[in-house]
Structure formats: C-alpha cells, structure tokens
Structure 1
C-alpha cells in the first residue's frame, strides 16, 4: 500500500473514533439527566383532578345567601337572593320584589335588615336590591363567561316555604329553554333536575365542580320535579350597570327602627334554632370565625376568639342531633343539643368518641338574635 492510499484510511479511522467518543459522552449525559417533558395538557388534567368538598361549598355559599320577604298590604312574598358585590347588592328575581312596599332581608346568621330596590327588569325576571349593612361582606363568585352544559352537576340554594338555606342537588338536564310566565320572558334558561319551589326564587345555582354561581333559580313546575334557572352570564352586565348607577342617598330604604322582633313564640323558636344550627354547622366545618360572630357582645368580651377556638378545635367529625327548645318569660330561647365528636388524648396517640350536651341561650341584642350564653355538660 503506498503512502497516497494510507492517508485517507488514517483520516477515516480518526473520524470514526472521534464520532464514537462523542456518542459515548452524550449517552452518559443523557443517562445522568432525566428528560423533562412540559406538556400543558397533562398539567391541566392533573390540576383539576381534585374535587371541592360538597359540605364546604354549601357552607361557604350559605354565608352569602339571604331570605327575602317582600311585603305589601295584601300579602308577603318570600324569596331568596345572594350577595354578588362589595356594595351589599343582592341579586334576585323581579317577581319577588316588584310588588313589595317593604323589603326585609334575613341573613344566614339570623340578622334582619331593610333593603332598597336598585333595579328591576321589565320583561326579564331579574332584580338587584341593596342592604347597606352587608357592604364588604362575603360574596359569591359569578362565572360570567362560561355556559353550563347538559350533565353538569349543580347545587340550588334558597328558602322554599320559608325554610332558610335549603339545599337541593341535581344536574343541568337541558339548555336554551324558552317560555313566558306572568309577563316575564325566560330565554336560553337552564333546565335543572334540582327541585325549585316557592321561596327558592332568586337563589343561586352553583356549579358543583367550581363552587361558583352559574344561574339564578327562577321557576319550577307544579310537581317540583323540574326547575329553571336564568344563566348568570346573561344578566350580570345588567345587574352591574344598575349597581354602578345607584346612589345610597337616592334609594328608598325602610327605616331600621321599623324592624322589631316577632312576639310569636313559634317564629322566635324557629329563628333561634336556625342560629343554633348554623353555630354547630360552623363548628363542624371548622369555620370558627363564623361561629364566633354569632355570640353576643358580653360573650365576646369574656372570651377572645383564640380562647373560643381552643374550646372547639379539638373536635373531629362532629355530629349533632335535633334541637330542642323552650321559650322563657323574658323572650329568650333555651336550645339544647347533644353532639358527638372524636377527640384526641393530650399526647395525640389515642382517639375516642365523646358525647356532650350543650344548652344555648339565644335572645335579641340590638334587634338581632345572638347567642347570649353557652353551657356544656355530660362528657363521656
């Protein structure tokens, strides 16, 4: 082999050897550094795998849902509504308030306030009322740009037949329904399987997956098997326009002094038991702030929030029986309830089931029902 042939062969061998060395180095780098794949689709699926707790959704929503009583000389119309902005504005149905001379609003913690009409629809069954005392309180989030689809799970809240904050579950069973009732045109409304009846009108329809409002419950069939809800996305803009144009000094409020406590023992008992039920529901969901706000001023002065929370934070899986109440001569209500809960030993190594009986004294303070005293007995 002459020198001319030997040169190209040597170059070829060197190139092959260099390529093998480079490949070997890169292979070792790949093995020591795992490949990371950034897939937005996978990330989105993983972030939505968690489901919001149903009990938490309901309890948080109840804080913003109110019972509405529209009164005139002939009748009282009971409906529902929910806070949707920081001004104390409540979205409801026009048919709940359109004939009312006086409008009272009852909140989840048993307080009663006067309301004024901010705006009402002529053909659309939508209205906005304002309660100044509810400004900067808990509000519900409205899904403004999203339409519900058939099969979506929903939660309907309201006060059917005066039973405040009643909850019904169902699905969206139809969309784009159109009809007219009592002079109102309902267009592109949701048909839902959750029951809607007298008193539900104006309450929120909540998406089970997000906890946000997607509609306003408005109409139900006579047998209660089918309900209809106006999509919130279609009326939010109108409601916001009314709210922005309304000035408090131009609104017609009923004077707060005109609201007095009912002297009907049955009504007083019902209202007091509602406060007690809300108190223990708040404890069970670990909403200690909500429970603390139900205490009267004397109890709050004697117990800081930290001390109050310490008394109940030890309870897990709290459950309670039906309430039993008696009305005293001074128009206070003594409500007794037995609760069961799991508690841990001081070293947190053992868990046991405890049973306790609570008696709540509930009465009026500044025209609002408050828990004036709490006593406990019977710990096993």
Structure 2
C-alpha cells in the first residue's frame, strides 16, 4: 500500500483527509425495473438501531479507493446502480480506480463524474450494482449536538469508526481548487484516508455528510452535508460525464507518508487491532499481522485464541523511538475473558514490534505477560 496522503493547511493546520480508506457489499444482478434509475435510500427515523448494528451495516457499504499513483481514500455506496460517492481530491486525475471492499474483494471502478469546484465525485462499480445502498438524509440538516460517527480508512486502516457530535454549523473555507461552504464541524477524529467516507447519524445509520477535511491538531473535522451535493451526484449517475475535466491538487496539499516516522502511527495500529477484536472482526485483525507472525499462527488458531475475549481496554500505552523503520509499542490492557464458563477481568502487559511490510504498516511480532 502506498503511503501517500492529502494534506493542506488552513491557518497552517487544516488538512484534507484523502489519501487512504473501507467497505462495501455483495454482488447481485440489477432488476430490470431499476435499470437507468439510480435509487436513493431515505432514512426511516422511526426505526432505532443499536450502535453495533449501525456500525456493522455501515462498514459493509464503505470502500477503500486507490488510484494508480497510490492516492487512497474512502467512498460509500449511495444507490442501487453500484455508484459510490467520494471526494474529488481522492480520484483527481484518474479514470479507473481500484476498489477494496470490506470482505477483501478487489474490484474495478470508473469515475463517472467529478466537480472542479465542489470536492465531490462519483465512482461506478459494476460489480456492486443491485446492492442495497446506505440510507441518506436528503432533505434535512443535522444540528449541533447530534451524535455522529465517521467511517473510513484513516492511514489505510480499513473499517475504522470514530464517534463524536456535530460541534458547529455553516463552516466555510477554500483549499484550491475546491470551495468548501456550509460544512458540518464535527468532533469525531478523522485523519488522512477518511476523505470520501460517510458521516453517519448514530441513532438511525443514515448518511448525513461526506467527511472531507480536518485539523492536524485537535479532534476537529469537517463534513459536507449530503443534502448539498446529492443532486449533482445523482445527475452524474443518470448521465455520466462523457469526458472528465483535468484536476490538479496543489503540490502543497500533498505529503508522502514515507517521510513520517513509524512511531507516529504505531500506537494507532495497536489501538486499531484491539478495536477490530472488540468488534469480533477477526479476519481484519488477523490481516494486521506481519508475514512471519502469520506463518507461525494460522487464522483458525488466532481466532480461537480470541473467541473467549469479550472486551479489551487499553489502560496505558508507550511507543519507543523507531529503529530500522520499526517501533516498539508497550501497553497495559484490561481484558474480560471467559474462564471456566464465566467472565473474569484480567490484566496484561503486551509488547508489539510495528513496521512496514510491502508499504503496509503491520504488527511484526508480539508477546504478552499477565499482571497480577
């Protein structure tokens, strides 16, 4: 995986969150009655779902998008034609893109619409046609205090979920060549790779906006209301652009993550590993292990070892300076684990070595000991 990310300063702090991204759905044929008619799912606010249900259903329909030059971002399925909404800066300059779904399929997508003014684009993935899309809040706006979650692939960690609230309304700024206006300000932490992912209402699972930018310092992000861009997205779905405009994002907006030290992301990877286990996503947690670790531990053995684990909480974490492009993470964790038919609370000190393998950050090795 390339480590390129999109970043641009607003008062030396604002960044675009494109550069990496997560999940999609199951392929089926498009019924004839749906051909040529992009359908939008409208939220039914009378139905309340648990947070775990909303996370599970949303992750399946959020994908990672990657271009030939290594740029990565997020996108989400918004209609039954197999069309994804994303940010324009994620797919700028590309016609064909690679799509990675939550179930680890790699599909081909085609950019069928992209704006030169508003940071929005639509990508068509034929293999996803006929899949039920995410629900959209098309006509209403969120309010300050509404609980939300951002879904995407920050720093390439697919299926990452962060939660927060709408903390401000009507924010506006410019990051050339795009104009951003009437944005939601959110407290849900987002990072490079979240760009194009959905901002979701925690109580209904409906999409409120498109996560597009954030501040390097502090938990502040910005999301475009879906109601502001859905009309243009739908117009491209009905009539794809015959020729895409050429777009160039300022070189000042982009940095190469290879210049970043491993320890800056090592703690994030360990946290993401335990988040995956807590969500019972053993397949994805196993994918974060390095090659040598996997050779000595089969997936079946790995999964079996965590089936009795109910919840993991990181009590303390320390990241040592990197050496030879590796970093050491030492953490103290509290674990609810099943012992003799009932759950008990245990504590462990765990040590992980984190490093890059084939341009992807991995848990190269790990060990732990019980704390009494």
Decide: shared fold, TM above 0.5: yes
| Residue number among 42, 55, 58 corresponding to 1:57 in the alignment | 55
Structure index of larger Rg: 1
Query: Equivalent residues in 2 for 1:283-362 (5 A)?
Result: 283-320=277-314, 321-329=316-324, 331-348=325-342, 351-362=343-354
Q: Secondary structure at the match of 1:270?
A: helix
Residue 121 (structure 2) pairs with residue 122 (structure 1): no
Residue 359 (structure 2) pairs with residue 367 (structure 1): yes
Q: 1:262 to 1:155 in 2, by over 3 A?
A: closer
Q: State the alpha-carbon separation in 2 of the partners of residues 80 and 149 from structure 1.
A: 25
Aligned-pair CA distance for 1:194: 4.8
What is the CA deviation profile of residues 136-189 of structure 1, one whole-angstrom value per residue up to 9, with x for unaligned ones?
8xx9943257433445643345799x8986835224987xx79895676779x6
Identify the residue that residue 154 of structure 1 maps to in structure 2. 148
| Residue number among 239, 253, 266 corresponding to 1:272 in the alignment | 266
Which structure has the highest helix share of the two?
1
Under a length normalisation based on structure 1, what TM-score does the superposition of the two structures give? Answer: 0.56
Q: Secondary structure at the match of 1:298?
A: helix
Which structure has the highest strand share of the two?
2
Residue 226 (structure 2) pairs with residue 234 (structure 1): no
Aligned-pair CA distance for 1:104: 11
Q: Secondary structure at the match of 2:119?
A: coil
Query: Equivalent residues in 2 for 1:132-281 (5 A)?
Result: 141-144=133-136, 146-151=138-143, 153-156=147-150, 167=162, 169-171=164-166, 191=184, 194=187, 202-218=196-212, 227=222, 229-231=224-226, 233-238=230-235, 240=237, 264=259, 267-281=261-275
Q: Secondary structure at the match of 2:336?
A: strand
Q: State the alpha-carbon separation in 2 of the partners of residues 173 and 68 from structure 1.
A: 31
What is the CA deviation profile of residues 321-363 of structure 1, one whole-angstrom value per residue up to 9, with x for unaligned ones?
324234234x333222221112233243xx4321112222233
Q: State the alpha-carbon separation in 2 of the partners of residues 298 and 198 from structure 1.
A: 29
What is the CA deviation profile of residues 119-149 of structure 1, one whole-angstrom value per residue up to 9, with x for unaligned ones?
4213433125799xxx98xx99432574334
Q: State the alpha-carbon separation in 2 of the partners of residues 50 and 276 from structure 1.
A: 29
Query: Equivalent residues in 2 for 1:63-78 (5 A)?
Result: 64=62
Identify the residue that residue 106 of structure 2 maps to in structure 1. none
Q: 1:291 to 1:195 in 2, by over 3 A?
A: closer
Identify the residue that residue 37 of structure 2 maps to in structure 1. none
Asked if structure 2 preserves the Cα contact closer than 8 Å seen for 1:195 and 1:227, the reply is no
Q: Secondary structure at the match of 1:53?
A: helix
Aligned-pair CA distance for 1:370: 2.4
Q: State the alpha-carbon separation in 2 of the partners of residues 271 and 128 from structure 1.
A: 30
Gaps of 5+ in 1: 1-43, 72-77, 109-114, 247-260
Q: State the alpha-carbon separation in 2 of the partners of residues 87 and 298 from structure 1.
A: 41
Identify the residue that residue 87 of structure 2 maps to in structure 1. 93
Asked if structure 1 preserves the Cα contact closer than 8 Å seen for 2:200 and 2:206, the reply is yes
RMSD: 5.6
Q: Secondary structure at the match of 2:276?
A: helix
Q: State the alpha-carbon separation in 2 of the partners of residues 185 and 262 from structure 1.
A: 25
Q: Secondary structure at the match of 2:135?
A: coil
Asked if structure 2 preserves the Cα contact closer than 8 Å seen for 1:92 and 1:216, the reply is yes
Identify the residue that residue 74 of structure 2 maps to in structure 1. 81
Greater relative contact order (CA < 8 Å, ≥ 6 in sequence):
2
Asked if structure 1 preserves the Cα contact closer than 8 Å seen for 2:318 and 2:330, the reply is yes
Q: State the alpha-carbon separation in 1 of the partners of residues 66 and 264 from structure 2.
A: 16
Q: 1:84 to 1:59 in 2, by over 3 A?
A: closer
What is the CA deviation profile of residues 225-245 of structure 1, one whole-angstrom value per residue up to 9, with x for unaligned ones?
895523164344356468898
Asked if structure 2 preserves the Cα contact closer than 8 Å seen for 1:355 and 1:378, the reply is yes
